[in-house]
Amino acid sequence: MQAFYSQSALYSAFFEPSEEIRGSIDRLVRRHLRRAPRRVLDPACGPGLWLEHFQRAGAEVAGCDLEERAIALAAKRLPKRGSKVLVGDMRRPPDELGTDFDCAINLDNSVGHLADYMDVAEHLASIRRRLSPRGVYLLGLALREDGDTIDAGVVFERGPVDVAGGGFAALRTESLGLQPTTRCERIRQIAITANVPDTPAVIAEQYDLLTFTFAMLRDVLAAAGGFEVLGCHDATDESLPEKAFRKSAGDVVLVLRAGAVRARAARGSAKKRPASRRR
Ligand SMILES: C[S@@+](CC[C@H](N)C(=O)[O-])C[C@H]1O[C@@H](n2cnc3c(N)ncnc32)[C@H](O)[C@@H]1O
């Protein structure tokens, strides 16, 4: 697991959702539910930034994450009434989190951290079981075909920023491009901190994130029991504009609902993404 994710105060300092992305997500959810969500699940919730957003709007929230420190911070951040956060794996979120969620959210290609497509199918099947019949899953992932490329370069750079609890830090994340055999995107990241309690001065790490061909995505959606793709949005722009659901669409947020797989490719040419809002 990535060392950076265990530094939850640091994660929060860099990735607190902006007002713009909060507004975009709220609009998406309301469009498909026709109301604000009542029960929200984040199966890789980190320190609970999105859960906090939905809880403030009146929803009951639940989440899990592999990182104990992230869950400890989420538990501190979220008022106990109406929230449940536990250490757990997104492949099979703990049963105690409950079911009947009308919204699940998992952005920023967190699902790309899973080891393989079997894990992704297991994850999607778990979420499907936990959603209410009209419930939606907002899932961030990367659509890349064999032969696609990603230019190597900086995808996120921020800081120095103040860190809650003391100290300050800067973060730089680079993409090293798609690995030809695995088609994973290789990410390299360096965080530098000063006077942040219980935190190393430098965290430097490299990891690979799964990407999906269109055919693979169809297969995992079907293997999970079936999801309809209600919407596809450009994840590199915080206004989350609609994007053609097609091969090589890049970093997207999909809106899924349990149902027969209806994931036809839309026509249109691939838009090259700006490298701004990728983690
Ligand atoms: C990019 S962060 C997203 C956190 C949160 N959902 C948000 O939007 O702020 C990815 C998170 O996935 C978690 N993670 C990675 N693999 C996981 C797994 N198998 N099960 C649960 N959480 C996992 C990491 O610990 C990290 O907190």
pLDDT tens string, the chain, 279 residues long: the values are 678 988 888 999 999 999 999 999 999 999 999 999 999 999 999 999 999 999 999 999 999 999 999 999 999 999 999 999 999 999 999 999 999 999 999 999 999 999 999 999 999 999 999 999 999 999 999 999 998 999 999 999 999 999 999 999 999 999 999 998 899 999 999 999 999 999 999 999 999 999 999 999 999 999 999 999 999 999 999 999 999 999 999 999 999 999 876 655 554 433 333 334 454
Quick check: is 264 in a domain? no
Q: Is residue 277 part of a domain?
A: no
pTM, two decimal places:
0.93
User: Does residue 110 sit in the same domain as residue 20?
Assistant: yes
Cis peptide before 37 (omega within 30 of 0): no
Q: Which of 52, 87, 113 to mutate to test the pocket of ligand 1 (most atoms within 8 A of CB)?
A: 113
CATH number at residue 50: 3.40.50.150
> Are residue 100 and residue 227 in the same domain, yes or no?
yes
Cβ of 44 below 6 Å from ligand 1:
yes
Name the domain count of the chain.
2
Note whether 26 and 162 are same-domain residues. Answer: no
Which of 4, 53, 64, 66 maximizes ligand 1 atoms within 8 Å of its Cβ, making it the mutation to test the pocket? Answer: 66
Ligand 1: distance of its center to the CA of 279 in Å? Answer: 12
Q: Give the model's pLDDT for residue 266.
A: 54
Hey, how many other C-beta atoms are within 10 angstroms of the C-beta on 224? 21
Question: Which two tokens mark 106?
Answer: 């998992």
Residue 178 C-alpha from the chain's centroid = 19
Q: Does one domain contain both 131 and 222?
A: yes
235 touches ligand 1 (CB under 6 Å): no
Cα-to-centroid distance, 47 and ligand 1 (Å)? 9
Here the tokens at position 211 are 């990407």
Q: Which domain holds residue 85?
A: 3-143+211-258
Gap from CA of 48 to ligand 1 centroid (Å): 10
| β-strand pairing of 250-258 with 131-143 | antiparallel
In a domain, 263, yes or no: no
**Same domain? 38 vs 119:** yes
List the 153-162 sheet strands across, edge first.
Answer: 153-162, 168-178, 185-194, 202-209
Which pLDDT score, from 0 to 100, does residue 259 have?
85
What's the gap in Å between 237 CA and the centre of ligand 1? Answer: 21
Same domain flag for 10 and 40 = yes
Q: Is residue 269 in a domain? A: no
Kindly state whether residue 192 falls inside one of the protein's structural domains.
yes
Same domain, 95 and 34: yes
Paired strand residues for 168: 162, 194
Distance, CA 268 to ligand 1 centroid (Å)? 32
44 and 135 together in one domain? yes
pLDDT for residue 233: 98
101 shares a domain with 77: yes
Ligand 1 center from residue 267 Cα (angstroms) = 32
Output the CA torsion sign for 15, 18, 22, 27: negative
Do 221 and 170 lie in one domain? The reply is no
Instruction: Cis check for the bond before 241: say yes or no (omega within 30 of 0).
Output: no
Domain assignment present for residue 131? The answer is yes
Tell whether 98 and 183 lie within a shared domain.
no
In a domain, 148, yes or no: no
pLDDT attached to residue 8: 87
15 Cβ below 6 A of ligand 1: yes
Do 139 and 160 belong together in one domain?
no
With residue 14 as reference, give the H or E element that holds it: helix 8-15
Assigned domain for 227 exists = yes
Instruction: Please work out whether the CB of residue 119 comes within 6 Å of at least one atom of ligand 1.
Output: no
Of 83, 59, 53, residue with least CA distance to 71: 83
